[in-house]
Amino acid sequence: MYFLKSVFFFVMGTGLFVTNSFSEQEGSSHQTKDKNLSIERMTTSPALGGSSPRNVKFSPDGVRVTFLRPSAVDYKILDLWEYNLKDKSVRLLVASSSITGGEEKLSQVERARRERMRITSGGIVSYSWSKDGKKLLFPLGGDLYQYALKSGAVGRLTISEEFETDSRFSPQGNYVSYILDHNIHMVDATSGKDRQLTTSPSPTIKNGSAEFIAMEELDRDTGYWWSPNEKYIAFIQFDEAPVEIGQRYEVNRDDFKLLQERYPRAGTNNVTLKLGIMTVKTGKVKWVDLGKDQDIYLARVKWLPDNSGVFFQRLNRAQDRLDLIFADAKTAKVRPVLTETSKYWVNLQHNLEFIRNGKEFVWASERNGFNHLYHYTIDGKLIGQMTDGDWVVTKILQIDEAAGEVYFSGHADTPIEHHLYRVKLSDEKVTRPLRLSKAKGWHKFVFSEGANDYIDYFSDPGTPGQVSIRNSAGELLSWVDENTLTQGHPYFPYMADHIVPDFGHFKGPSGDDLHYRIYKPSHMIEGRKYPVIFALSSG
C-alpha cells in the first residue's frame, strides 16, 4: 500500500491526462498543448517522478549509502550509485550499459522470477554488501559481478549460458552463493572455486528456489538460508510433479507465445515440500519432520543468532493456522514454539526478531484483531504484549537492546499515513507509541545495522519520492535526494494542473470505516457529471 510513493505519479498523471481533455472541451486557454501530459511522455525518459534512489542501503561501516538510480538515457535501466555521508558527495559506481553494452536478454526463469517480484526495471536490479564493506555483489546479464570499493574495479565471478539467480554474500563474506538450474552453488570469495551443493534427482525436483506460490502469494522470494557462522544452509526442496500442466499465453507487442507450464490452480495439487539442513563442509543433509499433513506451505525460515537451529513457519492449506516451529541444526529435531489461528485466515508477515542472543524474540500477531507486538521467551512463553489499540504495526525495523527500545513502522495515527514509532522493550502495553517521523504522508524506513540512524523514503500527494538520512529522534542528517519540484525537474512543466486527491471515509456494512481517495478534474464544474474510474484491490 505504498501508493503515495510507488504509484502516485502514475495515477496522478493518468488523471491529469483525462482532466486536460475536459479542459480543452471547456475552451480553457491558460495552458498550451506542449504542457499537456501525454501517455507518450509518461512512458519516456526522464521519469516524471525524478531519478529518486531505490534499494538504498547503508554500508556495513555506516559511512556511506548505496542505491540504484534510473539511467539518464533510459529510466527503465538502473545503475549503481554511492552517497558518501562524510563529504556528502554522490558518484556513479557502475553503469549497467558499461557491462551489457545496453542490451540484456533475460532467461525464462529470470523473467518469471522478476515478474513475481514485481521488478519491471532492467540493468542492475539488486545488489548486496560483503560483511567487511569492501565489495558489492550484483547480477547482470545472467552472470555475477563484484565491485571493489577501493579500486573501483568490476570483476566477473561467473560465466555461464544459464542465469544465476538469488545471489548473495555468505554472512561472514567467505562465499558467494546463488541458484543455477534450480540448485544451490557457491563460489569461494578468495580462490574463485565454484562448488555445486545440491543435485536434483529429477527435472521436477528443485533445490533452494522459491516455488511459484511462495513468490506470488507468500512474499517469500528465496528458498535457502545461511547460518550466521556459515557452517549450515537451510533450504527448501520442492517437487512439481503433482502440479498439473496448463497453457499460458505470453503476449508481446508484436506476437504471442503459447507456453506449457505447471500452474497450481485453486483446488488442485500444490508442490510437495521438504526442509533440509545441510552441513556445508560435507554436503550432508538432515531432513526436518514437517508433520503428518503434507499439503502445507513453508512461509518463512530464519536462523537463530547462536546457530543452534532455525525457526520455520508452517501454514496449512486453508491458511487459517500458522505454526512457528524450531528445528535443531545438528539433529533436525523439531519443537513447536507457538501457533496462530484465525476464523478467516492468518496474514503472513516478516516480523520475527531474536534478542538476548536468541534467548527471546519479538513477534507480531493479529490475534486481537489488530497487528501488534508481543515479547516471548525462545520456548514460546509470553513475556508480554508491547503495543495495543485500534491500529496496526506493519514492520519491526530495529531493536536497540542496550537502550531497551524497539523501532517499528505502522499506522498508530491514521491509516492513510505510514510512520516510524518507538516503544520500550518491556512487558507493558503501549496504546500510543512515540512517533518519530514528522512530515505527514507516507514513509518507508531502512535502518543502519547496529545503529539507530535510518534512511527515510517519503512522499505525499504533492511531493515525489524523497530520500533522507535521519537520526533516532527523526532529525534530518542529510539528503540523499531531496527531489524538489523546481525548474528543471521533469514534472515541473505540468505542475499547473497537478491534482491533489481528496481523502475521506464512510461506514461499511459492518460499521467499520472504509477509507478512499478521489482525484477530481482540475477544472471541475460544480453540478456537472463526470465519468469515474474505480481502482479497487479485491484480493
Residues 102 and 15 in one domain: no
Residues 369 and 396 in one domain: yes
In three-state secondary structure terms, 15 is helix
Q: How far apart are CA 513 and CA 368, in angstroms?
A: 18
Residues 59 and 124 in one domain: yes
Which helix (DSSP H) or strand (DSSP E) does residue 247 occupy?
strand 245-251
Q: How far apart are CA 500 and CA 522, in angstroms?
A: 9
Q: Of the residues 342, 372, 394, which one is the last residue of a structural domain? A: 342
Buried b (16+ CB within 10 A) or exposed e, 403-421: eebbbbbbbbeeebbbbbb
Alpha helices, H only, 36-100? 39-42, 97-100
Q: What per-residue confidence (pLDDT) applies to 2?
A: 36
> H/E/C letters for each residue in 400-431?
ECCCCEEEEEECCCCCCCEEEEEEECCCCCEC
Task: Quote the number of domains for the chain.
Answer: 4
Residues 205 and 337 in one domain: yes
Residues 97 and 152 in one domain: yes
Residues 217 and 289 in one domain: yes
Residue-by-residue pLDDT tens, the chain, 539 positions: 333 333 333 333 333 333 333 333 333 333 334 568 888 888 888 889 888 899 999 999 999 999 999 998 888 999 999 999 999 999 999 999 999 887 788 887 888 888 888 888 999 999 999 999 999 999 999 999 999 999 999 999 999 888 999 999 999 999 999 999 999 999 998 888 999 999 999 999 999 999 999 999 999 999 999 999 999 999 999 999 999 998 888 888 788 888 888 999 999 999 999 999 999 999 999 999 999 999 999 999 999 999 999 999 999 999 999 999 999 999 999 999 999 999 999 999 999 999 999 999 999 999 999 999 999 999 999 999 999 999 999 999 999 999 999 999 999 999 999 999 999 998 788 888 999 999 999 999 999 988 899 999 999 999 999 999 999 999 999 999 999 999 999 999 999 888 899 999 999 999 989 999 999 887 889 899 999 888 877 65
Residues 453 and 495 in one domain: no
Q: What is the DSSP string of 44-57?
A: SSSPTT----EEEE
Which helix (DSSP H) or strand (DSSP E) does residue 179 occupy?
strand 175-180
Q: What CATH number should be reported for the domain holding residue 438?
A: 2.120.10.30
Residue 81: strand pairing partners: 67, 92
Q: How far apart are CA 364 and CA 133, in angstroms?
A: 32
The residue type found at 357 is N
Q: How far apart are CA 425 and CA 363, in angstroms?
A: 12
Q: How far apart are CA 300 and CA 322, in angstroms?
A: 11
Q: How far apart are CA 528 and CA 509, in angstroms?
A: 29
DSSP-derived secondary structure letter, 196: E
Residues 326 and 239 in one domain: yes
Question: Which class for 425: exposed (0-12), middle (13-18), buried (19 or more C-beta within 10 A)?
Answer: buried
Residues 473 and 488 in one domain: no
Q: How far apart are CA 368 and CA 382, in angstroms?
A: 15
Q: What per-residue confidence (pLDDT) applies to 63?
A: 93
Alpha helices, H only, 191-314? 212-216
Residues 5 and 78 in one domain: no
Q: How far apart are CA 432 and CA 179, in angstroms?
A: 44
Residue 54: strand pairing partners: 68
Q: Of the residues 136, 159, 194, which one is the last residue of a structural domain? A: 194
Q: Of the residues 297, 325, 342, which one is the last residue of a structural domain? A: 342
Domain that holds residue 317: 197-342
Question: Which class for 327: exposed (0-12), middle (13-18), buried (19 or more C-beta within 10 A)?
Answer: buried
Question: Which class for 523: exposed (0-12), middle (13-18), buried (19 or more C-beta within 10 A)?
Answer: middle
Residues 83 and 133 in one domain: yes
Q: How far apart are CA 479 and CA 15, in angstroms?
A: 30
Residue 421: strand pairing partners: 408, 435
Residues 438 and 507 in one domain: no
The residue type found at 271 is V
- Written as nine digits, the cell of 6 is 510507488
Phi and psi at residue 86, to the nearest 5°: -75, -50
3-state helix, strand, coil in the chain (%, to 5): 10, 40, 50
